[in-house]
Amino acid sequence: MKNPYLLHMFNPTENVSPFDVNMAYEAEFDGVIPYDNVSLEDIHAMTQDTIFSRGPTGVKRTGIFIGGREFGLAMDMLQRAKVAMVPPFEVSVFADPSGAITTAAALVACVEAQLKKKTGDSLENKNVHILGGTGPVGVCAGILLANCGANVFLASHRGKKVGDEVANEYNKRFSTNMQGEDFSSDKAILKMMEISDVVVGAAKAGIQVMSKAHLKAGKRLQIAADVNAVPPLGIEGVDVHDMGKVLEDTPQKALGIGALAIGNVKYKVHYHMFELMKTTDKPLYLDHERAFESAREYAAK
């Protein structure tokens, strides 16, 4: 095949995600080439091997995808790849470790859209607690929420200290003002719910982080969103297909947003990012901010 669309997948972990490979072929890349155990130090040389082998025309039919499990490392790799480009030898780069970026973008866009629909308000000055907030989805969602003006709390079952450590690390990198929070006990969760406007379940799959009793204690709660599609539900009472379903037992009749409803937007964003790589005339560097722009469009429909 002459002049194929090629996607090189740089992955710092042992395996490349089958989900990402499938999505790339769905976007009709002709060849998807995975690389595992790629270090940050490898990126410069691998990027230049990618760009110099196809010529100024061929690079327009070439892309780099960065996977892995860590949001921060993926951002570092994206930046390292960008620095390695030598115009006119440049290709587009898309980072999405564990699907965290597209999932977080879809999550925040859905929360924003449903809050606007329910109250007419933006996320500005809203208290948002992310349970499981120290993982890649939680961190990325926290950054996006903070950029929307929300007061973000990265809640950890290991305690507030751990949440603060992660929040401070990313605050320095992204000029945000996130805080840590504890959700290791019923008492801690109930205390959190006294001030929460939005709660997000972003813990590991198959773990329930919030019960109906916790939701009932949310005097100010407007939105409860869960990204866990593996039983049991991460937030009890929020079904995986819910998109703005009223949670009748909550004081403010909060709206529930479920994992598969968020996943539907995430899938569209993920596919769109690959499409942008194939159709752009200039190289793109697709990160959490660009994914969020796309997610907002889909969530508003």
pLDDT digits over 238-268, tens only?
A: 999 999 999 999 999 999 999 999 999 999 9
Name the band, by pLDDT with cuts 50, 70 and 90, for residue 116.
very high
- What is the per-residue pLDDT for 2? 76
Q: What residues does 198 pair with on adjacent strands?
A: 128, 223
CATH class entry, domain 6-99+267-299? alpha beta
Of 229, 232, 251, 250, nearest to 240 by C-alpha is: 229
Side chain identity, residue 138:
G
Q: What is the pTM assigned to this prediction?
A: 0.96
Average pLDDT over the chain reads 96
- Express as a percent the part of the chain with pLDDT over 90: 94
- What is the per-residue pLDDT for 57? 82
The interaxial angle of helices 100-119 and 288-299, nearest 10 deg, is: 40
Q: What residues does 8 pair with on adjacent strands?
A: 33, 64
- What is the per-residue pLDDT for 1? 64
204 CB neighbour count, 10 Å cutoff: 12
Residues of the chain with CATH 3.40.50.720: 103-262
Name the band, by pLDDT with cuts 50, 70 and 90, for residue 205.
confident
Q: What residues does 92 pair with on adjacent strands?
A: 63
Name the band, by pLDDT with cuts 50, 70 and 90, for residue 168.
very high
Q: Return d(Cα 278, Cα 298) in angstroms, integer.
A: 20
Name the band, by pLDDT with cuts 50, 70 and 90, for residue 56.
confident
Lowest mean pLDDT, pick from 37-41, 53-57, 103-107, 128-132: 53-57
- What is the per-residue pLDDT for 252? 98
Q: Return d(Cα 222, Cα 199) in angstroms, integer.
A: 9
**CATH H-level superfamily of 103-262:** NAD(P)-binding Rossmann-like Domain (3.40.50.720)
- What is the per-residue pLDDT for 95? 98
Torsion sign (Cα): 93, 98, 99, 101: negative
Of 272, 276, 295, nearest to 284 by C-alpha is: 276
CB 225 within 8 A of CB 113: no
Supply 220's token pair: 């100010």
Residues of the chain with CATH 3.40.50.10280: 6-99+267-299
CB 63 within 8 A of CB 277: yes
- What is the per-residue pLDDT for 260? 97
Name the band, by pLDDT with cuts 50, 70 and 90, for residue 228.
very high
Average pLDDT, integer, range 123-146: 97
DSSP H helices, 85-159, are 100-119, 136-147
Provide the 3-class DSSP secondary structure of residue 97: helix
CB 35 within 8 A of CB 46: yes
Confidence check: pLDDT of 23 > 80: yes
- What is the per-residue pLDDT for 3? 83
Q: Return d(Cα 145, Cα 126) in angstroms, integer.
A: 9
Structure-model confidence comparison of residues 138 and 59, the more confident one:
138
Lowest mean pLDDT, pick from 56-65, 99-108, 249-258: 56-65
Q: Return d(Cα 188, Cα 185) in angstroms, integer.
A: 5
Name the band, by pLDDT with cuts 50, 70 and 90, for residue 280.
very high
Type and span of the H or E element at 123? none
Average pLDDT, integer, range 197-212: 94
